Structure 1
Amino acid sequence: MRQKLHHLNYNIFLPYILLVVFGIVMVYSASSDILLVNGFNPAFYGIRQAMYAFFAVFVFCALCFFLKLNIFKSRKFVIWFLGISILLLFYLICLKIFKGSAAAVNGSVGWIDLKIIKIQPLEIAKLSLIIYLAYFLDRHDGSFNKGQIIQNLSRPAILAAFMMFLVILEPDFGGTAVLAMIVIVMFSVSGVPAKNAVLCLIGIAVGVYLLVFLIIKWNPEFLQNKYQYRRFLSFLHPFELEQKGGAQLVNSYYAIHNGGLFGVGLGNSMQKRGYLPEPYTDFILAVIAEEIGVIGALLVIGLIFYLIWSIMEVGIHASSQFNALVCFGVTTIIFTQTVFNVGAVLGLLPITGVTLPFISYGGSSLIILSAAIGIVLNISANERIKNEERFANGR
């Protein structure tokens, strides 16, 4: 333990801690006024986020950092972890079938309520898919030659497609897109020819564009009352549909405009006071922009991208395929969620409910991302120890 702590990668650990602490502050700031107006404890969500952060950092991140790295590479761990995540996703579909709208939140069945905490199986699925793909692709390293690619990748592709199918049934389109990006990126960096990966990405993009174009043109009657469809139309016409789902995006624009370059001051946002729905979740960046300005928001996003680059650097210099793939998989989660979240807040992408990593309110996302950071720190420490041993042996 002492040796690992000595080799702790502060380029990853410090940005991670800063983001988590800043997230607690902003969750409190974004939620306190509306809670106070409704007669609740104004610190309720802030305290809960602090509790989630405590367990995320000192239990899950620390545990994944101090465990032997070989545990994550073991067949037994991979199978159990993947199996549990799939069972949890399947359980959500059963909830939807048997309980229907009673189990839904904003039109989606995405959480398992344990009273103390609501577990979001999608978050577990993201990390389990990364570990599984890293394990599988590492064992098949060097076998992705022409004529063998489809045969060798069929098993993980089918399993990943099944997980995405379960997530889209909730329905959670943002989560499905994140899982798809994990698969594409990890396949791309595992030895699959770049041409195949690029063609796959282009094919998916074109397919999604055509599907969206056809739905907009058709505008089917049976989708008119669907929550997700209304949010998509609100993305296209936010001001025209402000009273039918566009209020979140419209008030996000107002918040960013009010904040200007330097903000109105921490805690002084107007849009969080009943105008911007649930400002402490996926639209917390709008409150950040209003309170500490566009420059402050850019600094926060810059810190996230610095963290992404630091993790990528570990992956680039990793001595094993497994270590590299895990790092690239974790960067894919953080990068994709950040892009989706920022794009939704700015009205550049449809609102999918994807949270801002480490900042938005929520226990499942923070805990799983912290576990992922712990694994990356574990990989980084082991790589540094190996490099020191090679140097000491004169290699």
Structure 2
Amino acid sequence: MNRIKNFFRYILGTSKYIDFPLLLTYIALCLIGLTMVYSASMVPATRGTLTGGIAVSGTYFYMRQLIYVIVGFGIVFFMAYIMDIRILKNRNVQQGMMAVLLLLLFATLVFGSEINGSKSWLNLGFMNLQASELLKVGIILYVPYIIDRKWVQIQQNPKVVYGPLFFVGFIIVLVLFQKDVGQTMLLTAILICIFIYTGIGMKNILRLLSAPFLGLIVGIIIIVVFRINILPAYLTARFSALENPFNYESGIGYHLANSLLAIGNGGLFGRGLGNSVMKLGYLPEPHTDFIFAIICEELGFIGALIVLILIYSIVYRALVMASRTDSYFYKLVCVGIASYIGIQAFVNLGGISGLIPLTGVPLPFISFGGSSMMSLSMAMGLLLLVGKQIKYEEARQRYYEKRR
């Protein structure tokens, strides 16, 4: 009984350092996503259009997403309340994390399942794991750890991090070999954003990033020499349909044209929750890639705007946190998470609206998917953990200033 009381005392004491607006935003997005997954998938699921022709219950995807959300909440709670941030600065933990991710990526290349043209899924029986999703969090932790640990040496000689960065570049090439162009773009963008924020100057940034870029160049050479077709056929076709998808409405522009119709059908207030027409066989993945188009159709411009405000408020909050600390590790972790969520949302929204080619990247917190939900929950737990540490250090500094 005493242990239970002590546990709740610890939770209450820790809560004063938790960024509750950030936590509530995360919960709100997950609940909106859960609702929209059910709305977008209930009819197609019963028709079997999302499960290879096998009809399933209308709650099939909803129940699976509910499990992912519950697991995500558990991850966030553990990281925000229980985890000691010092473990993330442990060399053995960092190396072990990257080693596990490397093994998962190799296992995916050898034993992975190909879905929608990309061999990026590892069947674990109870779920399909996408290791590249977890790699985002790995890079957000590993690169800031290296920069923070070697910051003084980096300012004098950027070459000291060539080894670790070449390793990161090699891992990104493995994702490219899975024909997952969208995730490769995101991982590279996260890496670039972290280095831009370091403030060490563009010349030094180019020197530092030459190592991972060299890895990418080596990968491209291998692709050319062995004639590996790294771009899925569906992706190259989407470039052709980008300019005017309605000219190819019955072919390669079918998905984008219907996505634009769904967005336009919603108007200001939408057709009403559950009343989407385009989810009835017109959009191929209404619960994943095209879920924002369904949001626009059912909830209209107002509903879509609320979702965007919630997503980018997390990005804004992460950047504010980065400006409040002197620790390079905390700063760069916050920037990494902001770039992860912000850029992924932009790529998804740009794809379904015709701004950029469709790449199969899910909308953060909203789209159906276990790997994505776990990765994003880890990122949110990490952001809350860093925010808690920043608040704790600020409170400690105020205490010492009063004692003087």
Conservation of the 8 A alpha-carbon contact between 1:224 and 1:230: no
- 1:118-129 aligned at under 5 Å gives the runs 118-129=128-139
1:200 and 1:248 map into 2 onto residues whose CA distance is 40
Conservation of the 8 A alpha-carbon contact between 2:176 and 2:230: no
Conservation of the 8 A alpha-carbon contact between 2:71 and 2:374: yes
Query: What residue in structure 2 maps to residue 86 of structure 1?
Result: 102
When normalised by structure 1's length, the TM-score is 0.88
2:103 and 2:239 map into 1 onto residues whose CA distance is 30
Tell me: higher relative CO, structure 1 or 2? Use CA pairs within 8 A at least 6 residues apart.
1
Conservation of the 8 A alpha-carbon contact between 1:95 and 1:109: no
Deviation at 1:392, TM superposition (A): 1.7
2:170 and 2:250 map into 1 onto residues whose CA distance is 37
Query: What residue in structure 1 maps to residue 61 of structure 2?
Result: 45
Conservation of the 8 A alpha-carbon contact between 1:142 and 1:191: no
- 1:98-177 aligned at under 5 Å gives the runs 103-145=113-155, 148-149=157-158, 151-177=159-185
Query: What residue in structure 1 maps to residue 371 of structure 2?
Result: 364
Instruction: Give SS of 1:394's match.
Output: helix
- 1:293-304 aligned at under 5 Å gives the runs 293-304=300-311
Query: What residue in structure 2 maps to residue 218 of structure 1?
Result: none
2:69 and 2:90 map into 1 onto residues whose CA distance is 28
1:61 is the counterpart of 2:76: yes
2:343 corresponds, among 332, 336, 339, to 336
1:108 and 1:232 map into 2 onto residues whose CA distance is 17
User: AA paired with 2:97?
Assistant: F
Q: Which runs of 5+ in 1 are unaligned?
A: 97-102, 205-221
Query: What residue in structure 1 maps to residue 393 of structure 2?
Result: 386
Query: What residue in structure 2 maps to residue 215 of structure 1?
Result: none
Q: 1:50 to 1:189 in 2, by over 3 A?
A: same
Conservation of the 8 A alpha-carbon contact between 2:118 and 2:232: no
Query: What residue in structure 1 maps to residue 224 of structure 2?
Result: none
User: AA paired with 1:63?
Assistant: F
Conservation of the 8 A alpha-carbon contact between 1:251 and 1:275: yes
User: AA paired with 1:306?
Assistant: S
2:241 corresponds, among 234, 245, 249, to 234
- 1:124-273 aligned at under 5 Å gives the runs 124-145=134-155, 148-149=157-158, 151-194=159-202, 196-197=204-205, 226-273=233-280
Deviates more, 1:253-262 or 1:1-10: 1-10
Instruction: Give SS of 1:324's match.
Output: helix
Deviation at 1:237, TM superposition (A): 4.4
1:70 is the counterpart of 2:86: yes
Q: CA RMSD in A?
A: 2.4
2:288 corresponds, among 281, 289, 301, to 281
User: AA paired with 1:61?
Assistant: V
Instruction: Give SS of 1:393's match.
Output: helix
Deviates more, 1:37-46 or 1:73-82: 37-46
1:194 and 1:5 map into 2 onto residues whose CA distance is 40
User: AA paired with 2:142?
Assistant: Y
2:376 and 2:337 map into 1 onto residues whose CA distance is 8
Conservation of the 8 A alpha-carbon contact between 2:179 and 2:230: no
1:232 and 1:293 map into 2 onto residues whose CA distance is 28
1:232 and 1:86 map into 2 onto residues whose CA distance is 31
Instruction: Give SS of 2:269's match.
Output: coil
Describe the superposition over 1:138-171 as per-residue Cα deviations: whole angstroms up to 9, x where unpaired. Answer: 011133336x22x134223311211111111110
Deviation at 1:192, TM superposition (A): 2.3
